[in-house]
Amino acid sequence: MLEDQTLKSLIKEGGQIVVTQYLKGVYGFSDAIANRFTALVDMAGGWQVVVDRSQQQLTGIRGEKEKK
């Protein structure tokens, strides 16, 4: 159980570092803005929630286009 929690924590922290570096490198965000953005996403439920919501919106947009 402890090993599982440790692994999850390491993956979560590593993911945040990678995303922060990506935002800084690709979008040119400052350290402060990139860190705040990743913290905001984490507080909102994590990156999987963002991915799921984006997929729902894209599916909805595609469905609306097909109806027209």
Judging by beta carbons within 10 Å of its beta carbon (0-12, 13-18, 19+), is residue 15 exposed, middle or buried? middle
pLDDT(2) > 80: no
Q: What is the predicted pLDDT for the residue at 57? A: 86
Whether the full predicted model's pTM is greater than 0.85, yes or no, is no
- Residues ≥6 apart with Cβ < 8 Å to 12: 42, 46
Nearest to 20, CA basis, from 3, 37, 2? 37
Residue 39 one-letter amino acid = A
| Alpha carbon of residue 20 to chain centroid | 10
Query: Domain-by-domain residue ranges, the chain?
Result: 2-67
pLDDT tens track for 6-63:
877 788 888 889 999 999 999 999 999 999 999 998 888 887 787 788 888 888 876 6
pLDDT of residue 66: 67
Phi, psi of 28 (to 5 degrees): 75, 25
